[in-house]
Structure 1
Amino acid sequence: MSQKKNIEKLWCELILMENINDRRALIHNDVKIKNPKYQILAKDDPYRFFELLGGDESEINSNNWAFKYTYEDYIEENDIEYDHKEADGWNLEEKSIEHANDTGHWYVTGTCMIESPNNIKLEFEFDYCDGLLDKIIGTPYNVKEHGNHGILF
C-alpha cells in the first residue's frame, strides 16, 4: 500500500470514531508506544489532526519569548568597548526582556491542551506571525520539544 493510501486509511479510521473521547484516548495511548501508528497524521496535516481531536483555537494560550540579548550583543550593537564589571553584572533575562520591549521584536507561540477524562492531555504548540496564528509547530508526539524558544515574559 502506498504511503498516501495508508495516510488516508488512518484519517478514515479516526474520522469514523464518533466519540471524541475515544479518539483522544487512542492518540494518548499511541503517543506512548515505540512505533506510533498515527504520528504520520500529525506530520501530514497537524491542523486537521488538531481539529479532529476537538482542538479549539479560542483555547490557545499565547506566550511571548524574548530572544537572548547578551552583553556581547549589547557592546556590538552600541559600538562600545568591553567592560568586565558591566559584563559580570549583566542580567541576561532582564536585559533580553528589556531589549524585546524596546525593539518590539520577540517571538510569539501558543499552547493548547486538549483534555479528556482519565487524565488524558494532548498538547499542541502554535507559531504566530505578525500577530496571527501561522502554523502548528508541536503536537502530542513531540511535547518534549515544546517551549524554550528564548526567555519567557
Structure 2
Amino acid sequence: MATQLEVGQNAPDFSLTDANGKTHSKADFAGQKVILYFYPKAATPGCTTEACDFRDNLSSLSSAGFQVLGVSPDDAEALQAFTDDQHLTFPLLSDPGAELAKTYGSFGEKTVGGNTFEGTLRSTFVIAEDGTLSDVEYNVDAEGHVARLREKLGA
C-alpha cells in the first residue's frame, strides 16, 4: 500500500483531465477549498451511491465554499457515460494507471467478492485554501459518507 497522507501536509499537486478533455490542476484551485475524492470504478454500485450523494449535496458544499472533484482510473468515455447516466454536476477526472491515487496513498490491496487485487481505494481529501490537507479519510464507506463529511466540515 502506498504511504498515507496526514492532515497538515501539503496536498500533492495534480493535473488530470475530465471527460471533456479539460485539465484540472491543483493550481487552478489556489485560494479555494477542494474536496478531492477517489473512487474505484465508474457506474459500480458503491461509486454510483457516492457520486450521486455528492451531486445531491453539491449546492450545500458549494455554498460553504467547497469545489468537488472525483478521481478514478476510468477513461474519458467511461467518465462521460457515468456523468450523463447519473446527471453529475461536478468534474470527474481520469487517473490512468492510478498514478495520482498512488501519490495520495489511495491505492492498495482490496478484496471484492472473494477476489483480492490491487486498485484505487475509496478515500477523500479536503484541500484547504492554502493547499494543505485539512481532512484525510481512507477506507471510506460510500453509504452516508457525504452526510458525515458535511457535518465535519460544517457544510
Q: TM-score, normalised by structure 1?
A: 0.23
Greater RCO, CA 8 A, separation 6+? 2
Q: Which structure: greater helix fraction?
A: 1
Task: Indicate the structure (1 or 2) with the bigger Cα radius of gyration.
Answer: 1
Say which structure is richer in strand: 2
Q: TM-score if structure 2 supplies the norm length? A: 0.22
